[in-house]
Amino acid sequence: MYFSASYDILGEVKLHELVDGGNEIKVTDENKKEYIQLMIHWWLTKGVEDQMKNFLEGLYEIIPLSSLRKFDERELELILCGLQKIDVDDWERHTVYRQYSPSNVQVIWFWKFVRSLDHEHQARLLQFVTGTCRLPLGGFSELQGGNGRQLFCLECVGDETWLPRSHTCFNRLDLPPYRSYEQFVEKLTLAFEETEGFGQE
């Protein structure tokens, strides 16, 4: 392996040097970290630069950038994808528990709370935990995570002073053992409505 990336343009394989003279620099144990960083940078930015530029030009013809700036990424996804009716029974059937069981009062409160939400807030809660407000065609049984199929998970973590946390790569919600339904609703609502980044991993 050398400090270059190969890519395909209409069947023609081309090479891009990650650094000057990259075709001559072998990847070794000493420089592999630099190689990985350069390769990631290439594939996430430079490698798709032309495609992203063309996509954005087309998007801005339809929706001006000034209009898009009014929305955060969660609101934009809801606008572009719309609201999907969420089958809460399917959600509950395809949920796994850690340090909780379906009979724990906090789990009972969770499903009571989810059923009390309107479609928009159910989608926001789903987005908080999974990173998206959309489900696969197969529903919750086909939910994907960072390592392939990953069912929704409720885990008992922390104490009642903590806010719930989400792990979007694992579709997991860390749900502290709150002592009252009112406290449960307050903390969970605050977490998924107001959290931007620090409550998610």
Q: Round to whole Å and give the CA distance between 189 and 125.
A: 9
* Greatest Cα pair distance in the chain: 65
The one catalytic residue among 133, 153, 156, 169: 169
Length of the chain: 201
Active site residue 169: yes
Calculate the CA dihedral of residues 115, 117, 120, 122 and round it to 10 degrees.
Answer: -50
- Residue 51's CB is within 10 A of a number of other CB atoms, namely 9
Q: What per-residue string of b and e applies to 21-40 under the rule 16 or more CB within 10 Å gives b?
A: ebeebebeeeeeeebeebbe
Catalytic residue positions, numbered = 169
